[in-house]
Each structure stands twice: as C-alpha cells, then as structure tokens.
C-alpha cells in the first residue's frame, strides 16, 4: 500500500524484460561471435591456418548434422535479429515516431525476429538429420 491507502501496482514487465534480454544477448553475439566466426571460417580457414568446414557436401552433412552445431547456428543467426529488431524500434522511438511505441509496431519488429527464428529452426531441422556420430 502506498501513502494514500491504495494498493501499489508492482506488476513486473516480463515481456519488456524478455526483449531487453534478447537485445543484450544479440548484441554480444553480433559483436563477438559473428566476427570470430567470420575470422575463423572466412579468413583463417581459407589461408590454411586452421581447419574449417570445407565446401564439400559430405563435410557439411557430417558437421551440420551435429546437434551442438545446429544450436550454434541457431544462436548465431537468430539472436542477432532480436537485437536488430529492438534497436531499430527504439531508434524510431528516439527519432520521435509515435507509432514505434504501439503494439502493432512491437508485433512487426519482434514478430519479424520470431519468424526469422522459426525459419532458421525449420531449415536446421529439415535440411540435415540430427546425428550424434
């Protein structure tokens, strides 16, 4: 109760917490994991400094069938999209676009990230079967 006898509204904003969490994790992944992945797979590998996944179909099937690699690719692809959605939405809020605060805007921005995540999961689960060997 507050000082005038009314119950204090202390409802936690769980959805707001979720979007900020995904924003933060997407930022970390976009800032650290993506450049490391590009460095290793795109630069050091072709130079012959480290072993990487080559372009042969057999290698891709073996590597992408691993459930840990599937999870890594899901995180590498999907989570930065939540960061992008949140950052773009709040950029529009900061620029004074009133519609950016609306529920339809949230559905469009965050829904787009959810769709990207769903498509990524679908592709990862349907292209190469999961194998533990």
**Which pLDDT value is given to residue 130?**
85
User: What residues does each domain of the chain span?
Assistant: 14-127
- Diameter over CA atoms, the chain: 72
Query: How far apart (Å, rounded) are the C-alpha atoms in residues 64 and 117?
Result: 17
Per-residue pLDDT of the chain (133 residues), as tens digits, is 555 555 555 566 887 788 788 888 888 888 899 999 999 988 998 899 988 888 788 888 888 899 999 999 999 999 999 889 989 998 999 999 999 999 999 899 999 999 999 999 999 999 888 887 6
Class (C level, CATH) for 14-127: mainly alpha
* pTM beyond cutoff 0.85: no
Token pair recorded at residue 105: 């805007």
**Which pLDDT value is given to residue 102?**
92
> Nearest 5 degrees, angle CA 24-CA 11-CA 13?
20
**Which pLDDT value is given to residue 133?**
67
**Which pLDDT value is given to residue 39?**
94
Distance, CA of 111 to chain centre:
12
């Amino acid at each position: 109760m507050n000082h005038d006898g009314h119950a204090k509204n202390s409802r936690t904003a769980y959805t707001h917490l979720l979007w900020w969490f995904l924003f933060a994790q997407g930022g970390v992944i976009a800032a650290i994991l993506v450049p490391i992945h590009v460095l290793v797979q795109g630069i050091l590998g072709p130079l012959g400094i480290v072993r990487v996944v080559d372009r042969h179909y057999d290698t891709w099937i073996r590597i992408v069938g691993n459930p840990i690699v599937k999870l890594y690719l899901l995180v590498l692809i999907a989570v930065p999209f939540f960061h992008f959605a949140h950052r773009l939405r709040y950029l529009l809020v900061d620029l004074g676009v009133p519609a950016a605060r609306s529920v339809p805007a949230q559905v469009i921005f965050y829904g787009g990230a959810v769709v990207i995540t769903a498509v990524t999961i679908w592709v990862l689960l349907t292209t190469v079967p999961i194998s533990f060997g």
